[in-house]
């Protein structure tokens, strides 16, 4: 996957008109032209309704095929339209990653009665009540699907917790009681034990559940001819299950079946521990780098740019890091709001698209639009994608040596004659930096690819150039007449 680029092909506020799979199909050719090599598609299973982004997941086997939740299609369209979109993407050599929402289920078909205790939301290991009978939404028999693909029916004992007692209308975090039942091991330790996130929380210690979920993983990968998965909310799921699940799907689809997990933590130690626990079988999104970029965008010139890569996942595990600027959760108004300020986005995309390490992911909202608001960044992202595919090859030499102006050199490689670049960004004044692009390049004339700076730079006898950058901007210097 030489210089691959993923696109997260959705944002939170897409229209609910059911036309999205058709739009994706029509866009496949364009995506290839701009240099996208894979897309992460929105969660495609039937949710609680057509206004559900897909994380309120009801039926894993309903990809917009059955009349359930008052609709056949999902927010994005029908299963047939999804299959057509995937076929079209494959025609243009674009891989497709499915958003697998496995932590919970929503919109049960009926209630059941079972024993539960209320727990402290801030410490789920601390009971707030004795066990008593509640009436929870945990019964799933999928009347519209009638057992097609799987006749598995879900009951209260397949879940660890829920958040609503129908008997008295009380909302709380209820830990379901039963022989051997407890919150999962191998989950994030925030709030005591972060197994429970929302809705009816699936119990991955239950053997019937593990068997069924692995069966589903293989089914959906085959049914849609998937190339990989984005694993939702994995800090709330038993890590050993994730490992087992990926082993099962890869046994079916091949070892190259791709996986990236959403483990939303700023702390690199948590990510490092998680990767070790799952034996490095999945990539993770580089959440620490996202937060570094968010801080940099908020603090402006007061942010020390030398720290931008400090304790990023891509610094610790370059081969397992999916670098990204923003996503559907960090965008304004979403649950994990931490949107990188607009002025910094070109710098952020320059960084992730031109550096050697990491598998960069471009956010739909940054490239196209959020709701009706067109993104101002599509032009610069196009340029950076072109620069990535044309020049961003070879080793990287860092110049993170000034609080406001930092950058790196890519040396280029033999397979791409004339490639190589010098990247700079500044969060302060206009600046310049002497960078060495290699003695063998002395005499070459370089220009600034994005058009921000009109001057040219001639590489001296030692291979040095004095490259300039505008304040609050980025600069991408490359050889003229490559």
Say which of 118, 232, 270, 357 is annotated catalytic.
232
Number of residues that bind Ca ion (CB under 5 A): 4
Using the minimum distance from each CB to Ca ion, give the nearer residue, 13 or 193.
193
**How far are the Cα atoms of 55, 383, 455 from residue 451, in angstroms, in the given order?**
41, 10, 10
* Minimal distance, residue 277 CB to Ca ion, in Å: 15
- Clarify whether 262 is annotated catalytic: yes
Residue whose CB is nearest to Ca ion in the complex, by number: 236
CA distances from 257 to 52, 167, 227, 270, 308 (A): 28, 45, 6, 25, 31
CB closer to Ca ion out of 193 and 405: 193
Q: Which two tokens stand for residue 100?
A: 């697998």
Beta strands at 283-285 and 228-231: parallel, antiparallel or unpaired: unpaired
Site string for Ca ion, 351-390 (x = CB under 5 A): ----------------------------------------
Binding Ca ion by CB under 5 A: which of 145, 236, 317, 410?
236
Burial of 347 (0-12, 13-18, 19+ CB in 10 A): buried
The residue length of the chain stands at 482
Q: Which of these ranges, 50-58, 230-238, 277-285, 379-387, lies near Ca ion under the rule CB under 5 A?
A: 230-238
H/E element, 76: none
Nearest distance, CB of residue 197 and Ca ion, angstroms: 6
- Report the nearest approach of Ca ion to the CB of residue 335 (Å): 16
Name the active-site residue from 52, 203, 262, 326: 262
* Rounded Cα gap, residues 342 and 321, in angstroms: 23
Q: Which of 201, 283 has the CB closer to Ca ion?
A: 201
Considering the complex, state which of residue 195 and residue 239 has its C-beta at the smaller distance from Ca ion.
195
Contact 388, 362 (CB under 8 A): no
The phi, psi pair for 299, rounded to 5°, reads -85, -15
The nearer residue to Ca ion, 103 or 297, going by C-beta atoms, is 103
Contact 243, 279 (CB under 8 A): yes
Chain-centroid distance, C-alpha 76: 19
Q: Which is nearer to Ca ion, 27 or 232 (CB)?
A: 232
DSSP string for 319-341:
GGEE-BS--TTTSTTSTT--PPP
Q: Is 232 a catalytic residue?
A: yes
Q: Does 103 participate in binding Ca ion (rule CB under 5 A)?
A: yes
CA-wise closest residue to 240 among 268, 200, 269, 213 = 213
* From 118, 195, 283, 326, residue interacting with Ca ion (rule: CB under 5 A): 195
| 69 part of the interface to Ca ion, by CB under 5 A | no
Minimal distance, residue 163 CB to Ca ion, in Å: 12
Question: Which position among 188, 201, 239, 444 is part of the footprint of Ca ion (CB under 5 A)?
Answer: 201
Q: Is 101 in contact with 43 (CB distance < 8 Å)?
A: yes
Token representation of residue 34: 């701009």
Which of residues 62 and 188 has its CB atom nearest to Ca ion in the complex?
A: 188
* 69-77, 125-133, 137-145, 233-241 -> range binding Ca ion (CB under 5 A): 233-241
Q: Which stretch binds Ca ion (CB under 5 A): 79-87, 195-203, 273-281, 318-326?
A: 195-203
User: Site map for Ca ion, 126-165, x if CB under 5 A?
Assistant: ----------------------------------------
Residue with tokens 């550096």: 355
CB contact at 8 A, 142 and 94: no
How near is the Cβ of 160 to Ca ion at its closest, in Å?
A: 6
CB of 103 to Ca ion, least distance (A): 5
How many Cα neighbours within 13 Å face the side chain of 336?
A: 15
* CA dist., res. 199 & res. 68, Å (int): 18
Residues catalogued as catalytic:
232, 262
- Residues at the interface with Ca ion (CB under 5 A): 103, 195, 201, 236
């Amino acid at each position: 996957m030489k210089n691959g680029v993923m696109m997260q092909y959705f944002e939170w506020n897409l229209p609910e008109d059911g036309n999205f799979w058709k739009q994706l199909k029509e866009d496949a050719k364009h995506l290839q032209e701009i240099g996208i090599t894979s897309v992460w598609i929105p969660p495609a299973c039937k949710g609680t309704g057509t206004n559900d982004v897909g994380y309120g997941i009801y039926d894993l086997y309903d990809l917009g095929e059955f009349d359930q939740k008052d609709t056949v299609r999902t927010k994005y369209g029908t299963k047939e339209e999804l299959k057509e979109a995937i076929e079209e993407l494959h025609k243009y050599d674009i891989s497709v990653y499915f958003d697998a929402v496995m932590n919970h289920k929503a919109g049960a078909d009926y209630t059941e009665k079972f024993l539960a205790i209320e727990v402290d939301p801030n410490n789920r290991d601390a009971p707030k009540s004795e066990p008593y009978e509640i009436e929870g939404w945990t019964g799933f028999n999928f009347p519209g699907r009638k057992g097609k693909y799987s006749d598995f029916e879900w009951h209260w004992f397949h879940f660890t917790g829920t958040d609503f007692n129908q008997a008295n209308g009380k909302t709380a975090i209820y830990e379901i009681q039963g022989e051997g039942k407890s919150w999962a091991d191998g989950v994030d330790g925030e709030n005591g034990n972060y197994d429970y996130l929302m809705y009816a929380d699936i119990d991955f210690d239950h053997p019937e559940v593990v068997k069924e979920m692995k069966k589903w993983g293989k089914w959906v990968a085959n049914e849609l001819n998937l190339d990989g998965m984005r694993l939702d909310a994995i800090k709330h799921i038993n890590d050993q299950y994730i490992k087992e699940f990926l082993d099962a799907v890869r046994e079916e689809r091949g070892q190259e079946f791709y996986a990236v997990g959403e483990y939303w933590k700023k702390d690199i130690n948590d990510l490092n521990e998680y990767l070790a626990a799952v034996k490095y079988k999945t990539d993770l999104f580089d959440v620490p780098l996202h937060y570094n970029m968010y801080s940099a965008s908020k603090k402006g010139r007061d942010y020390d740019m030398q720290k931008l890569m400090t304790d990023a996942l891509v610094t610790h595990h370059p081969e397992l890091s999916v670098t990204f600027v923003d996503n559907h959760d960090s965008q304004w108004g979403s649950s994990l709001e931490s949107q990188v300020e607009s002025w910094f986005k070109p710098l952020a995309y320059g960084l992730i698209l031109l550096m050697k390490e990491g598998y960069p992911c471009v956010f739909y909202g940054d490239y196209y639009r959020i709701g009706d608001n067109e993104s101002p960044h599509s032009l610069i992202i196009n340029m950076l994608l072109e620069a990535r595919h044309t020049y961003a090859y070879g080793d990287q030499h860092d110049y993170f040596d000034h609080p406001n102006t930092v950058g790196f050199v890519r040396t280029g490689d033999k397979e791409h004659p004339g490639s190589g670049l010098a990247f700079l960004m500044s969060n302060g004044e206009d600046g310049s930096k002497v960078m060495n692009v290699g003695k063998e390049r002395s005499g070459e004339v370089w220009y600034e690819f994005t058009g921000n700076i009109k001057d040219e730079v001639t590489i001296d006898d030692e291979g040095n150039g004095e490259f300039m950058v505008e304040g609050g901007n980025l600069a991408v210097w490359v050889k003229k007449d490559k």
